[in-house]
Amino acid sequence: MSLSSLSVALPVVAEPSSLALRFQEVRNRTATLCAPLLPEDTVVQPMLDVSPPKWHLAHVTWFWETFLLKEYLPGYSVYHPDYAFLFNSYYNSLGSRVNRADRGTISRPALADVYAYRAHIDEHMPQLLALADTLPPAFHEVFELGLQHEQQHQELLATDIKYILSTSPLAPAYQPAPAAPARTPAPPAAWLPVPGGISRIGYEGTGFCFDNELNPHEVLTTDFEIQNRLVTNSEYQEFIAAGGYQDFRYWLGEGWELVQSMGWEAPLYWVEKQGQWHRFTHHGLQSVHPAAPVTHISFYEAQAYATWAGARLLTEQEWEVAARHFQATSTAGTFLESNLLDPQPLPPDADPTHCHQLLGDAWEWTYSAYHPYPGYNRAPGALGEYNGKFMVNQLVLRGGSCATPASHIRLTYRNFFHADKRWQFTGIRLAR
Amino acid sequence: MSLSSLSVALPVVAEPSSLALRFQEVRNRTATLCAPLLPEDTVVQPMLDVSPPKWHLAHVTWFWETFLLKEYLPGYSVYHPDYAFLFNSYYNSLGSRVNRADRGTISRPALADVYAYRAHIDEHMPQLLALADTLPPAFHEVFELGLQHEQQHQELLATDIKYILSTSPLAPAYQPAPAAPARTPAPPAAWLPVPGGISRIGYEGTGFCFDNELNPHEVLTTDFEIQNRLVTNSEYQEFIAAGGYQDFRYWLGEGWELVQSMGWEAPLYWVEKQGQWHRFTHHGLQSVHPAAPVTHISFYEAQAYATWAGARLLTEQEWEVAARHFQATSTAGTFLESNLLDPQPLPPDADPTHCHQLLGDAWEWTYSAYHPYPGYNRAPGALGEYNGKFMVNQLVLRGGSCATPASHIRLTYRNFFHADKRWQFTGIRLAR
Amino acid sequence: MSLSSLSVALPVVAEPSSLALRFQEVRNRTATLCAPLLPEDTVVQPMLDVSPPKWHLAHVTWFWETFLLKEYLPGYSVYHPDYAFLFNSYYNSLGSRVNRADRGTISRPALADVYAYRAHIDEHMPQLLALADTLPPAFHEVFELGLQHEQQHQELLATDIKYILSTSPLAPAYQPAPAAPARTPAPPAAWLPVPGGISRIGYEGTGFCFDNELNPHEVLTTDFEIQNRLVTNSEYQEFIAAGGYQDFRYWLGEGWELVQSMGWEAPLYWVEKQGQWHRFTHHGLQSVHPAAPVTHISFYEAQAYATWAGARLLTEQEWEVAARHFQATSTAGTFLESNLLDPQPLPPDADPTHCHQLLGDAWEWTYSAYHPYPGYNRAPGALGEYNGKFMVNQLVLRGGSCATPASHIRLTYRNFFHADKRWQFTGIRLAR
Amino acid sequence: MSLSSLSVALPVVAEPSSLALRFQEVRNRTATLCAPLLPEDTVVQPMLDVSPPKWHLAHVTWFWETFLLKEYLPGYSVYHPDYAFLFNSYYNSLGSRVNRADRGTISRPALADVYAYRAHIDEHMPQLLALADTLPPAFHEVFELGLQHEQQHQELLATDIKYILSTSPLAPAYQPAPAAPARTPAPPAAWLPVPGGISRIGYEGTGFCFDNELNPHEVLTTDFEIQNRLVTNSEYQEFIAAGGYQDFRYWLGEGWELVQSMGWEAPLYWVEKQGQWHRFTHHGLQSVHPAAPVTHISFYEAQAYATWAGARLLTEQEWEVAARHFQATSTAGTFLESNLLDPQPLPPDADPTHCHQLLGDAWEWTYSAYHPYPGYNRAPGALGEYNGKFMVNQLVLRGGSCATPASHIRLTYRNFFHADKRWQFTGIRLAR
């Protein structure tokens, strides 16, 4: 699958039958993702960034109910009067809600009740979609947003489930391990030149994109070089072995304080056992594959690694310029649909002149703040809170990961996290 | 049931068959208590004092395994190598363990796995009990302690479950409400004189008691008067209505700071709806019964109420002296076995010359620190950590509650909590 | 000086000339204590328990102004409208005030302004005292309280100054070191028997005492033995060397958590240099005198030491019974007036049948909670907040220290601190 | 004074006599700034961002000693062995140091000792400067950096002193108020167009600049408009009156949480008295001048104001492009040398076609993260920690303020603070 096919946007207005099909497909994937979980797994919140899977299941459902059924389905009445309080995430426009820190302290409604809520919405949405022809463009936009929103929560479900299971000393597996990829070494990294000049970035298609990708505009970059693949576990182990976590010179100040106060010595999920690095995965504890991309690192670690390696991270402008430059020849990486839930090593014979893993496998930390594009304006109403209010103190990540649905990602997609976050599949691509 | 029958102590050495029966009975009650719970309810920890029911179920089981099966059953091997880390409560002698604050963040082992663990221990304990005749006195003491320990966790289960369910806005009921007691007013409180002088307190029987009750000794009290019943909800509402929560003069300094920082305006679980006080119970939200004893108050509230009422709390010496004085005529209150899980109003025709509710219904805060009795010594080994290490910064409570097993309580029983705790069935008895 | 002379109480009503003289004497001592300080030393608050000396100087002055001049001196008007907000300590009755934690963040009024405030009050008080004959008993009581209050702050000044200077790596001396006491060993500790029975405790004289000493009453004690001197540094070093700080079995649970989280390995102010213990004193860093009483330890350390030594702490009832028992023959220890500001070693030839250091040198932690005596009632008005509201979660200390004015201490005196406090001159006396 | 004269850079190598003169001038200004302070004012730290003036005085002195005297003056030995620990700010390369949060808890060395330290360094530096001809370029670079460093601390001194004095309810004045500017209204704001295209930013002169300004490079901007003056107090009061602090729609999410948790309702230092806004200044409490630029606002407030006003903030690229565009005609604002220590209103007849207040008066928050310029590399050694390690989670501010030395600021100067900081003279310039 080439990148260009991935970046083909979905049409905003489709025939009703197709809308219903797409709705069903997205909803099914969410349920499938949660199927291996016990009810116990679905209520806990072992850290603030993680939400209980039961909450995700209900929240995405509340989104459909609040923004579509309540608005557009004649005669629809709200399923339960307390669910808005329980399952609103962060919309100030929509009233008070459970503190984020308390999501894991509430056992009721039961998981079965949340599935009943899902079923209720899944019954009513087709009724609404049958009327789609008669509904205004705003309906179609929000319907599309609902699909994308639920896909975003699929990625969060995958990573939150991983974190939840990791906190037990039993190291339980979410699913059996697939056949392990051969322990062949990664092909040596190669530097690929990207010519400077004026380029356009931002979404220009006719399909869906988030408002933060809009206002395509010109950017100016100088000549630079990009590595043709992600940094591997084996390369990152060299950084660890060289004392990278003990030498403040590689680190940003706030990162260094964190390393010391948290006692970080390796990526999240890494455990040394009998002198060998293992990592907790969706398949339990596994030995680290040397050729697979390193993941579960903070921006601070990505930046420190790059400094140690005598290189640097890309800006998001450079990333997008490079991605567009190499789009034709690059092959896609691993996505959620593969059900592998782990970034995969590049084949040893991968073409060294191509730029690999641009989409999929691991989100790539950029050294760009998540700020508005020129001309950005928040939409009015609750959905104006979707993206805009987060535009400070976070960094942009690009490219999607092995937990991102393939139909969700684009070259223009701007993900964002605080510099200290590690529970997503976050990795490193070097530039110079 | 008279108090004296309650205070008859259990024989330390019984025939094996009887040991097995008692073991089974206690274990069954724990399981029965948890039967109405969903798996979701058994993993959450909405505040630090509360432990997840799944943890309780496993911890009491680990206690039998660690202190009896491992020690005395030939050939017994530990069920799971990680369970000591997961289910040790606070025994430093027995190694590292999950932080108390993290008990509600761990979903595995599953509830079903914990029940399997229980079944495993429940199968092996009879094998051990069959050998009881051949085992040393230490075995019999720890066996008895194991029963009492599990009974203590039954009370904690009852109160932790209540707290867990209370945090949901759905106000779910643990069990259906029994027929509501008639809304008759409580009989007026009467003051009963207790003559001063030298009395003995502390456990002197031949049955089981905790080490903190030992070393019976003489105490000197002056003449005092005690109220013949617990303070009622209706009386406490007068304190609220009189602005008791807004006037620092009634409060100890640290209590007043707490009232202000926490915004306390009524006991825990009380909610005002349409001008009427309701409270969350094991049967969901119920209107406050005016004649029932007030519960779920901190020591600070008990002391402030007493000051406002122109009275005071008892010391634990006075409490025990009075309890022994009135023991013959007093009737017992409500215990766990009633399955009512709520303190009950006194009948309007209760004899005003008797001292009611001394055992059962609500723990009575005393104005005595939980300190060692004269001559107290901690036992060597892990079980020496059972009581002694808590003997500072806590206050003694006496008398048991509606969540205490009747066979667990005694007139000499010393319960203890920090002054700010409210999630137990704690109440007020006045003296002057 | 025998203890009995120390415990002779001051007459409540004295001739005016004497009142003025006593006022002047107490005020002068406060100023003398602060004379060696730089302005810089008088504003900082390196921990919550410590108040800046400038604040002490102003607060005791505000006390005279608020409770006496404002009340009784005709035509007196308040010196500065903002000083009540700045220098009220904890009287809720008297309105809002600077948070305790912020006392060290406010540089103005300047130290010179505070001395001007003192001078203003020191000029007006004699005018008021000239009218003493015409004033009601309440005036005389509060005047006496004012003296005692300022004496309490003298002790706090001495200990707060020590803490403040200790935080600088320069280890500055408050005053030059006196001639060091000879390094003779302490006489061996001896156990003195105290016969049990009914005794009276509490203040019964006609002089001043605090309300918390009132309501003298009978207590019942059993026979016990008390050590004839305080535990020495040398004895305490054995506890350290034996691994006392590393063995949880000697510690109360909350103490053990503190030892670990704070990394305590010795008393406050102790520093190991070139294999020898030193301690910060009012004379800078000094080597530890083996025969001097150990001080600057928490209740947790006192209790752990006693447990390690196979002994125990006294209750406050036992302490007072013993002190009265040995009063006739005991010699007093070191007080503030000596200006030594350090507990002194007992002479090697001290009579082993006498009970030494009962008053002075070091406050003795008792294993008694600071609770009200039977019949205790808080006074109405602001002065009712003086003692009563602190009667929970603290422990009683007895006997005064080398920083206590000799005229301030009594055998019935009840001091109180939380179990974790170490910055006072607190020490250990063993019982069994 | 035109902007272009301000941006003329200082020559790196000057004759020795001139070096000594410049050294003396900068040192004198620091001392002059602190002259009005009492010793009490120089030790407190009322919030984490503020350092005690005594610490500033010593730290800048330590900088000269550490980086110049120790390195280059033959035979120089360190003044005091503990001062590196006490007065190192954040250089990990130079060992351990006092925690930033504890700077205000240490009273010694005394202020007089710090002045003696200053005098010692001020005596030795001319000896070193006399050798300047013989010293390598690195010496000259660090000497220049030392001057700039001390100037930066002059600005911090001015703002820290303001904060320190503000915490007293006495609202003490640092210096008497100058004649108040006439209460004429500000000229109406006008929008000035800035043509888009490729421009160069970054320092290109031959004088001193910080490493974060280096690597001048081309940037691409679109056409935009900039307001010709800073937002005034009067305009900001309209935002307050319109409920700007109560409406989440104008705010970034993290800003809104802060507004609520801190209870912000106006800029720092603003107090409403008798229905009129006042603000604490270096001259005590003063009524708000409607035409003066609003200052002491966080980035969150700047961004919320801009959103409310239907405009936006500039990026730092846009700011520099505009500043260069208007450089020839713009007049400079108020700097530290004026000793006014308050931003001044623009004259009512200011030319509406000029861009005013670009340098001086108030730092202008940009909506740009403080990230490295392309090709940025940290210098090796301790001075490499000067700028680079802060390049995340902060925002760039441009233009200097009334507390910035005029000789310190440049059009290319990049200042940086976290989005929540308010104690600097920070203001708003709008763009669209």
From the list C71, C65, C72, the residue with the least C-alpha distance to C86 is C65
Q: Do C110 and D45 touch (CB under 8 A)?
A: no
Beta bridge partners of A227: A191
Mutation target to probe the A interface, by most A beta carbons within 10 A, among B37, B38, B40, B83 is B40
Distance CA B279, CA B267 (A): 9
Q: What pLDDT is attached to residue A10?
A: 35
CA end-to-end span of chain B: 28
C-alpha separations of D217 from A137, A184, D204, D214 in Å: 44, 43, 10, 9
Percent of chain D at pLDDT exceeding 70: 96
CA atoms lying within 13 Å on the CB side of residue B57 = 30
| For residue A348, cis peptide bond before it (omega within 30 degrees of 0) | no
Q: Do B389 and C252 touch (CB under 8 A)?
A: yes
Question: Do the beta carbons of residue B308 and residue B239 sit within 8 Å?
Answer: yes
Q: What pLDDT is attached to residue B382?
A: 82
A148 and A230 co-located in one domain: no
D302 and D412 co-located in one domain: yes
Query: CB burial class (10 A; 0-12, 13-18, 19+) of residue B296?
Result: buried
Q: Do D102 and C54 touch (CB under 8 A)?
A: no
Distance CA D87, CA D81 (A): 11
Task: Quote the domain boundaries for residue D362.
Answer: 191-431
Last residue of a domain, one of A131, A166, A201: A166
From the list D345, D313, D330, the residue with the least C-alpha distance to D430 is D313
Q: What pLDDT is attached to residue D7?
A: 35
B157 and B265 co-located in one domain: no
Residue with tokens 């997503």, as numbered in its chain: A424
Long-range (24+ apart) CB contacts under 8 A made by B278-283 are B280/B162, B280/B165, B280/B166, B280/B171, B281/B162, B281/B177, B281/B341, B281/B342, B282/B158, B282/B161, B282/B162, B282/B165, B282/B173, B282/B174, B282/B175, B282/B341, B282/B342, B283/B173, B283/B174, B283/B175, B283/B176, B283/B177, B283/B178, B283/B342
Distance CA A127, CA A131 (A): 7
Q: Which chain B residues are within 8 Å of C368, Cβ to Cβ?
A: 369, 371
Distance CA B215, CA B376 (A): 7
C141 and C199 co-located in one domain: no
Identify whether D212 is part of a domain.
yes
D207 and D161 co-located in one domain: no
Structural domain count, chain C: 2
Mutation target to probe the D interface, by most D beta carbons within 10 A, among A212, A217, A221, A389 is A389
Nearest to C38 among D46, D82, D110 (CB): D110
- Please check the confidence at residue A9 and state whether its pLDDT lies above 90: no
Q: Do C167 and D106 touch (CB under 8 A)?
A: yes
Smallest CA–CA distance, residue B422 to chain C, in Å, is 17
pLDDT tens column, D373-402: 999 988 888 888 888 999 999 999 999 999
Identify whether C181 is part of a domain.
no
Mean pLDDT of all residues in B42-71? 98
Q: Do A389 and D252 touch (CB under 8 A)?
A: yes
D119 and D197 co-located in one domain: no
Last residue of a domain, one of A113, A131, A166: A166
Nearest to B92 among C248, C367, C374 (CB): C248
Question: Do the beta carbons of residue D59 and residue D87 sit within 8 Å?
Answer: yes
Q: Do D419 and A391 touch (CB under 8 A)?
A: no
C386 and C243 co-located in one domain: yes
The amino acid sitting at A398 is R
Q: Do C252 and B392 touch (CB under 8 A)?
A: yes
pLDDT tens column, B126-167: 999 999 999 999 999 999 999 999 999 999 999 999 999 999
pLDDT tens for chain C, residues 1 to 432: 233 333 333 334 444 459 999 999 999 999 999 999 999 999 999 999 999 999 999 999 999 999 999 999 999 999 999 999 999 998 888 888 999 999 999 999 999 999 999 999 999 999 999 999 999 999 999 999 999 999 999 999 999 999 999 999 999 999 999 988 888 899 999 999 999 999 999 999 999 999 999 999 999 999 999 999 999 999 999 999 999 999 999 999 999 999 999 999 999 999 999 999 999 999 999 999 999 999 999 999 999 999 999 999 999 999 999 999 999 988 879 999 999 999 999 999 999 999 999 999 999 999 999 999 999 988 888 888 888 999 999 999 999 999 999 999 999 999 999 999 999 999 999 999
Q: Do A254 and D393 touch (CB under 8 A)?
A: yes
C116 and C260 co-located in one domain: no
Q: What pLDDT is attached to residue C17?
A: 58
Query: Can you list the alpha helix ranges (DSSP code H) found in D130-248?
Result: 137-166, 233-241
Identify whether D179 is part of a domain.
no
What residues contact residue A257 under an 8 Å CB cut-off, 6+ apart?
A: none
**What CATH number is attached to the domain comprising A226?**
3.90.1580.10
Identify whether B182 is part of a domain.
no
Q: Which chain D residues are within 8 Å of A392, Cβ to Cβ?
A: 252, 254-255, 299-300, 303, 395, 419
- pLDDT category at D16 given cuts 50, 70, 90 is very low
Smallest CA–CA distance, residue A411 to chain D, in Å, is 22
Q: What pLDDT is attached to residue D63?
A: 97
CB atoms < 10 A from the CB of C180, how many? 10
- pLDDT category at A28 given cuts 50, 70, 90 is very high
Residues of C contacting chain B (CB within 8 angstroms):
90, 92, 198, 217-220, 222, 248-249, 251-256, 299-300, 303, 367-369, 371-372, 374, 384-385, 389-393, 395, 419
Smallest CA–CA distance, residue A98 to chain B, in Å, is 10
- pLDDT category at A12 given cuts 50, 70, 90 is very low
Chains A, B: CB pairs < 8 Å: 93
Mutation target to probe the A interface, by most A beta carbons within 10 A, among D90, D249, D261 is D249
Mean pLDDT of all residues in B368-375? 97
Q: Do B384 and C249 touch (CB under 8 A)?
A: yes
SS3 category, D136 = coil
D250 and D319 co-located in one domain: yes
Identify whether B256 is part of a domain.
yes
Q: Do C371 and B368 touch (CB under 8 A)?
A: yes
CA angle B69, B73, B76 (to 5 degrees): 75
Distance CA D29, CA A7 (A): 61
Q: What pLDDT is attached to residue D379?
A: 82
What residues contact residue B187 under an 8 Å CB cut-off, 6+ apart?
A: B229, B346, B347, B348, B349, B350, B352
C197 and C322 co-located in one domain: yes
Mean pLDDT of all residues in D119-141? 96
Residue with tokens 């699958």, as numbered in its chain: A1
Element of type H or E holding C114: helix C111-129
Identify whether D225 is part of a domain.
yes
Last residue of a domain, one of B120, B150, B166: B166
Smallest CA–CA distance, residue C38 to chain D, in Å, is 8
CB burial of D340-375 (b: ≥16 within 10 Å; e: otherwise) equals bbbbbbbeeebeeebbbbbbbbbbbbbbbbbbbbbe
Q: Which chain C residues are within 8 Å of D41, Cβ to Cβ?
A: 107-108
Whether D contacts B, i.e. 3 or more CB pairs less than 8 A apart, is: no
Distance CA A118, CA A130 (A): 19
Beta bridge partners of C319: none
- Please check the confidence at residue D13 and state whether its pLDDT lies above 50: no
Distance CA A259, CA A299 (A): 12
Residue with tokens 């990152």, as numbered in its chain: A236
Mean pLDDT of chain B: 94
From the list D211, D228, D231, the residue with the least C-alpha distance to D412 is D211
Q: What pLDDT is attached to residue C380?
A: 81
Chains C, D: CB pairs < 8 Å: 94
- For C102, name the nearest residue in chain D, comparing CA atoms only: D46
Identify whether B64 is part of a domain.
yes
Q: Which chain D residues are within 8 Å of A253, Cβ to Cβ?
A: 90, 385, 389-390
pLDDT tens column, D412-431: 999 999 999 999 999 999 99
Smallest CA–CA distance, residue B98 to chain A, in Å, is 10
Smallest CA–CA distance, residue B432 to chain C, in Å, is 9
Q: What pLDDT is attached to residue A92?
A: 87
Q: Do A90 and D253 touch (CB under 8 A)?
A: yes
Q: What pLDDT is attached to residue A17?
A: 58
Q: Do C110 and D40 touch (CB under 8 A)?
A: yes
D223 and D146 co-located in one domain: no
CA end-to-end span of chain C: 28
Whether B contacts C, i.e. 3 or more CB pairs less than 8 A apart, is: yes
- Please check the confidence at residue D1 and state whether its pLDDT lies above 70: no
CA end-to-end span of chain A: 28
Q: Do D389 and A419 touch (CB under 8 A)?
A: no
CA angle C397, C25, D40 (to 5 degrees): 80
Smallest CA–CA distance, residue D54 to chain C, in Å, is 10
Smallest CA–CA distance, residue D310 to chain A, in Å, is 10
Q: What pLDDT is attached to residue A329?
A: 85
Query: CB burial class (10 A; 0-12, 13-18, 19+) of residue D79?
Result: middle
- Please check the confidence at residue A15 and state whether its pLDDT lies above 70: no
From the list A258, A170, A202, A179, the residue with the least C-alpha distance to A7 is A202
A142 and A259 co-located in one domain: no
Higher-confidence residue: B386 or D132? Answer: D132
- pLDDT category at B358 given cuts 50, 70, 90 is very high
Mutation target to probe the A interface, by most A beta carbons within 10 A, among D389, D394, D420 is D389
From the list B416, B371, B384, the residue with the least C-alpha distance to B90 is B384
pLDDT tens column, A356-407: 999 999 999 999 999 999 999 888 888 888 889 999 999 999 999 999 999 9
Nearest to A254 among D256, D378, D392 (CB): D392
Q: What pLDDT is attached to residue B6?
A: 32
**Neighbouring subunits of B (3+ Cβ pairs under 8 A):** A, C
From the list B363, B365, B358, the residue with the least C-alpha distance to B327 is B358
Q: Do D371 and A372 touch (CB under 8 A)?
A: no
Identify whether A32 is part of a domain.
yes
pLDDT tens column, B83-140: 999 999 988 888 889 999 999 999 999 999 999 999 999 999 999 999 999 999 999 9
Q: Which chain B residues are within 8 Å of A39, Cβ to Cβ?
A: 38-40
Structure tokens of B346? 């006194």
Question: Do the beta carbons of residue D276 and residue D240 sit within 8 Å?
Answer: no
The amino acid sitting at D301 is E
Q: Do C248 and B372 touch (CB under 8 A)?
A: no
CB atoms < 10 A from the CB of B173, how many? 16
CA end-to-end span of chain D: 28
Q: What pLDDT is attached to residue B246?
A: 97
Residue with tokens 């100040």, as numbered in its chain: A253
Length of chain C measured in residues: 432
Mean pLDDT of chain A: 94
Mutation target to probe the D interface, by most D beta carbons within 10 A, among C34, C97, C107 is C107
- For C48, name the nearest residue in chain D, comparing CA atoms only: D105
Q: What pLDDT is attached to residue D330?
A: 84
DSSP conformation class of D67: I
Query: CB burial class (10 A; 0-12, 13-18, 19+) of residue C310?
Result: exposed
Distance CA B16, CA B111 (A): 31
β-pairing, B276-281 with B284-287?
antiparallel
Smallest CA–CA distance, residue B290 to chain C, in Å, is 30
Q: Which chain B residues are within 8 Å of C385, Cβ to Cβ?
A: 253
Q: Do B256 and C419 touch (CB under 8 A)?
A: no
Q: Do D252 and A374 touch (CB under 8 A)?
A: no
The pTM for the full model equals 0.95
Residues of C contacting chain D (CB within 8 angstroms):
38-47, 54, 82, 85-86, 102, 104-111, 164-165, 167-170, 172
